[in-house]
Structure 1
Amino acid sequence: MKNVLLSGCHGKMGQVLQKLITAHPDLQVVAGLDHTLDKEADFPVYAAAADVVEKIDIVIDFSHYSAVPALINSCVAKNLPIVIATTGLTDDTKAMLPVASQIIPVFYSANMSLGINVLIKALQSVAPALENDFNIEIIEKHHNQKKDAPSGTALLLADSINDSLTKPKDYLFGRAGNDLENPLSQMGIHAIRGGSIPGEHTVIFAGSDEILEFTHTALSRDIFANGALKAAEFLLKQSAGLYNMQDLLA
């Protein structure tokens, strides 16, 4: 049985992970991290990773982007592998990942859904054949409590498409105005927020008289938690390095 330190344990995703890990045959949560310490839990909860005294085998992080840099530093200091599933990381935080991965195994993905990552493979296969003749647009929908826009997943999809193109597109976040030209060189990325939508991403390839749409819909948060657990199982077998869902699916 491997011991998990769950970062963001009191958050919505942290609660889902607690439920799923309870039923997992090889993982158990022995400690948590959260800025809220007055909620009940079946394990000790700390404000900082440096305070954790339990033996930890791996860290799973679904917290707030502002908490991730300190957590990465603590994992490096304690030589702990870490799965980072928190979205909205700053460029400075992302720059820490390859540095930390020289010492510890680091798994990072802007979306832990297996379906989203299979979609990425499909988009990278399709996009090069259409890039010269089709506009590419991304629409993402999430619940009204989501703080970041566009979503990390929308940017992941956009970056993945661009990586496959001969000439990457320029991102346009939203669209407004009276004299727009909407050139093929742009990729529009649009965010919708409302209600309790767990997450929906649609990539549209729009050509002359024909349209292709690829849509992924998250029906519950369990898909992200399941992906994070698969990432943890994968990472426990790896040496130091930076890994993502494409490595897991390879």
Structure 2
Amino acid sequence: MKVGIFGANGRMGRVLIEALQEHEQAQLTVATVRDDSPWVGMNVGELAGIGSLPIKCTAVSEINPTQVDVMIDFTLPAAFDSNLAWCVSHNIPVVIGTTGLSDEQLSSLKNAATQIPVVFAANYSVGVNVMLSLVKQAARALGETADIEILEAHHRYKQDAPSGTAVAIGNAIADELGRNLKECAVYGREGKEPPRDQKTIGFATVRGGDIVGEHTALFADIGERLEITHKASSRLTFGRGAVHAAKWLHGKKAALYGMDNVIGLKLQD
């Protein structure tokens, strides 16, 4: 299977190059960068720090659609619209890991999935997707009495806060409890406030150093608390998951899929 990467020079782009290089059934055939990028023409293996490979970085406007079966996009919201439009116009399936998308962009993604196969997930780790199932079970059992907080930590360069994974955890819990996350979420606290509203879902964000990604869903009741935590120690975990998703997506019919579909995990209803 021939796989292309949008934003090969990004943090996750370089990880995806490595993940594809080690995969036995997927081959990296296209690695794009911005048209004005100094990385145009650079060897992708040297870019990723894994030695020379027989592929060079291509300007995004020069992608040859005949060279790819599936694209992977872990870029930024600013590049999302054009990347998605390219995939739709050339009927190329796409795996999307870009976070921080606007409501309008999420709507565009859903519309695109009526024309091409799309996998969209806030996190491509198998462990995180198991965590989404577990927090729904915890919410069902504890959510009506426990105070719920979501804690997340990432490296200093991460731009969106809270993380897409933290929001996905919040949405999983809110949906289980019949709440609207946009109405019940609390993003940080400061100064004197009234007693905590038990119906809210709080978020706490840490940005520092080279933290790959840590997420905890905290259910705190009187006399006990439950913490469900996932910690990633390598971005290669996400890269391998995305490549697995790309392989799974190849040949699927047009629809919007999640990692629960990819790994065969049925989240609790």
Alpha-carbon offset, residue 168 of structure 1: 4.6
**Runs of 4 or more off by more than 4 Å in structure 1?**
none
Residue 188 of structure 1: which of 202, 226, 229 is its match?
Answer: 202
Instruction: Mark the CA change 1:47 to 1:90 in structure 2 (over 3 Å): closer, same or farther.
Output: farther
Offset from partner CA, 1:200-230 (integer Å, 9 cap, x none): 0011000011111011000110111111011
What's 2:24 paired with? Answer: 25
- Secondary structure of the residue that 1:5 maps to in structure 2? strand
Alpha-carbon offset, residue 62 of structure 1: 1.4
Map 1:53-64; keep pairs closer than 5 Å.
53=64, 54-64=66-76
| TM-score w.r.t. length of structure 2 | 0.88
Offset from partner CA, 1:62-85 (integer Å, 9 cap, x none): 111211111111111100000001
Contact 2:125–2:237 under 8 Å retained in 1: yes
| TM-score w.r.t. length of structure 1 | 0.95
Alpha-carbon offset, residue 152 of structure 1: 0.5
What's 1:40 paired with? Answer: 43
C-alpha RMSD of the superposition: 1.4
Alpha-carbon offset, residue 131 of structure 1: 1.6
Q: Do structure 1's residue 176 and structure 2's residue 190 form an aligned pair?
A: yes
Number of aligned residues: 248
Identity between Structure 1 and Structure 2 (%)? 36
Instruction: Mark the CA change 1:23 to 1:167 in structure 2 (over 3 Å): closer, same or farther.
Output: closer
Structure 1: runs of 5 or more not aligned: none
Whole-angstrom distance in 2 between the partners of 1:150 and 1:247 = 25
What's 1:77 paired with? Answer: 89
Map 1:1-250; keep pairs closer than 5 Å.
2-35=1-34, 36-38=37-39, 39-41=42-44, 42=53, 43-48=55-60, 50-53=61-64, 54-168=66-180, 170-250=184-264
Kindly provide the amino acid, as one letter, of the partner of residue 255 in structure 2: G
Alpha-carbon offset, residue 46 of structure 1: 3.0
Contact 1:37–1:45 under 8 Å retained in 2: no
Structure 2: runs of 5 or more not aligned: 45-52, 265-269
- Secondary structure of the residue that 1:117 maps to in structure 2? helix
- Secondary structure of the residue that 1:60 maps to in structure 2? strand
Residues 35-44 or 143-152, more deviating:
35-44
Alpha-carbon offset, residue 24 of structure 1: 1.2
